[in-house]
Amino acid sequence: MFPLLAYTGCSVDQRLILITLLIRLGVVAAIASAVVRSRYFKSLLFRNEVRTTKQKIHLALFLSVPVALGVWVRAMVHNFSAADVAFESAVIMGVMGGRFAGVLVAVFCAVPEFWRHEWLAFPLDALAGYVAGAFREYAANREDIWSFSPMVDLSIYRWVRRNFPRPRHDWQVAFFVGILLLQFLREQVGLSFPGRLFFLHSQNFWVEIAIYAGTIAAVAIPIKIWNATRIELKLEEQERLLLQARLDALQSQINPHFLFNTLNSISSLVRVRPEQARDLIVKLASILRALLRKHDAFVMLRQEVEFIDDYLDIEVARFGAEKLRVVKDLDPLSLEVIVPSMMLQPLVENAIKHGLSSKIHGGQITLRSRLQPEHRLVLEIEDDGAGMLVTDAHFGERRHYVRDGDAGGDHTEGIGMYNVAERLRVLYGANAHMSVNSSPGRGTRVSIELPLLQTDKEVSAASAIYEARSITRS
């Protein structure tokens, strides 16, 4: 005969309790994984270190609902004690949310326990939640809470190595011992008052050790699951910050580059046509105000085209309307699509500077936009200028080209073209395409294909970037 196990006045074979302990670990893992899928729960658990009373109640409710259902199942279904993790949940919520939240979990789980006349369950669970909350306040570094592990033997070994011969307290070891003491108190109260408290107990030493180890693991597993999610959120936040920093760096290169070339255009008119130069300065001031006002990474294509119109007014005044002709073939529906700001202007500037400025009779620039199936937007900037031979044209890298009549032969593209390609790569990854088709003497066509980004144009650049990047992962 195997020694017997007791809980709430009943006897169970010790083999059943070992199975129950394993199932219980699966139950706590399932509950922890389910609640952490909620965005609101994650914001309460990870982002609000100092919580209001309302937030603490919400945090406790998230965990209490599935736990209370588990207690009810244990009370209704015979020999299914693995569903009851109220004691461990009170400890978890106490150490994660504070004393008030830990006691609240005990309160919410008390209804099915009272229905079973287990009057001592609530005070013991409330005590566990309160003590765990005290341990939270006791922690000098909150990272010790997130790194709590059932492998306390390693923690004890590291603690001895670190503190010998001058021992200091270790929060994880203290919390580990605290859980063991709470479990011991729970068993002793249950043995003293049979039928008034749900607990597991065995006369077999090794099974009793397994019960204590199962309690520790049932507390540590949800913390590990939530910590993994927390680390993932931190990595995502770091990725957002990195993308924002890279984008700001690229934009800071484009804007001075654009300003430098525009001022050169205006300076050529100051002596010969001062009135026109004054008008162009007013237009430039309007452009700069727009740049300062629209610092976000994305704008509607309509706004980007309006920006291009202001820039082309300056360039047409410089070259003359007979030498610089602009044709726009834009799909009206595409004008409401959100695109990266300052994306077309460097390409138009590149077409004028490298394609048309060297032609005696000038030339024409054509802007096209159209929507394609599968939620794609295609933009084209084409000129009938000098053209070039494109080599080594990998997306996001500096391209090399050879122009007719260039003494130096091989050249690297300017800041504008490279920045557009790099920004597209940063924003969209492999889901955006930029191609350059050119022939010497026949002109150049730059084509850009983007996924449609459905977002509010007023959102932050970092959020829009991350949404754009997430398209490539779906």
End-to-end CA distance of the chain: 57
Residues 304 and 453 both lie in one domain: yes
β-pair partners for 77? none
Give the type of residue at 327. V
Residues 313 and 221 both lie in one domain: no
CATH code for position 323: 3.30.565.10
Token pair 């080209």 is at which residue? Answer: 401
- The rounded Cα 57 to chain-centroid distance in angstroms is 26
Q: How many domains does the chain contain in total?
A: 2
Residues 337 and 221 both lie in one domain: no
Residue 464 domain flag: yes
- Please determine, for residue 145, whether its predicted confidence score (pLDDT) is greater than 60: yes
CA distances in angstroms from 357 to 53, 137, 361, listed in the order given: 68, 71, 9
Residues 27 and 112 both lie in one domain: yes
What is the reported pLDDT for 56? Answer: 92
Q: Given pLDDT bands bounded at 50, 70 and 90, which one contains residue 242?
A: low
Q: How far apart are CA 77 and CA 83, in angstroms?
A: 10
Give the type of residue at 402. V
Q: How far apart are CA 118 and CA 195, in angstroms?
A: 7
Contacts 24+ apart (CB under 8 A), 316-321: 317/269, 317/276, 317/279, 317/280, 318/265, 318/266, 318/268, 318/269, 319/352, 319/356, 319/357, 319/362, 320/362
Residues 276 and 204 both lie in one domain: no
Residues 283 and 402 both lie in one domain: yes
The arithmetic mean of pLDDT across residues 30-58, rounded, is: 89
CA angle 214, 27, 49 (to 5 degrees): 85
Residue 242 domain flag: no
Residues 28 and 118 both lie in one domain: yes
Residues 346 and 442 both lie in one domain: yes
- Say how many C-beta atoms besides its own lie within 10 A of residue 237's C-beta: 13
Residues 312 and 423 both lie in one domain: yes
Residue 251 domain flag: no
What is the reported pLDDT for 275? Answer: 83
Write the CB contacts of 460 (distance below 8 Å, at least 6 apart in sequence): 296
Secondary structure tally for the chain: helices H, strands E: 15, 13
Least confident of 162-166, 228-232, 311-315: 162-166
Phi, psi of 177 (to 5 degrees): -65, -40
The domain boundary, picked from 236, 253, 282, lies at: 236
* 382 conformational bin, left if phi > 0, alpha if psi -120 to 50, beta if neither: beta
Q: Given pLDDT bands bounded at 50, 70 and 90, which one contains residue 234?
A: confident
Q: Given pLDDT bands bounded at 50, 70 and 90, which one contains residue 285?
A: confident
Residue 21 domain flag: yes
Residue 254 domain flag: no
Q: Pick the residue with more confidence: 162 or 422?
A: 422
Domain that holds residue 92: 4-236
Residues 216 and 118 both lie in one domain: yes
- Please determine, for residue 96, whether its predicted confidence score (pLDDT) is greater than 90: yes
Q: How far apart are CA 305 and CA 365, in angstroms?
A: 13
Q: How far apart are CA 128 and CA 67, in angstroms?
A: 15
The whole-chain average pLDDT of the chain stands at 79
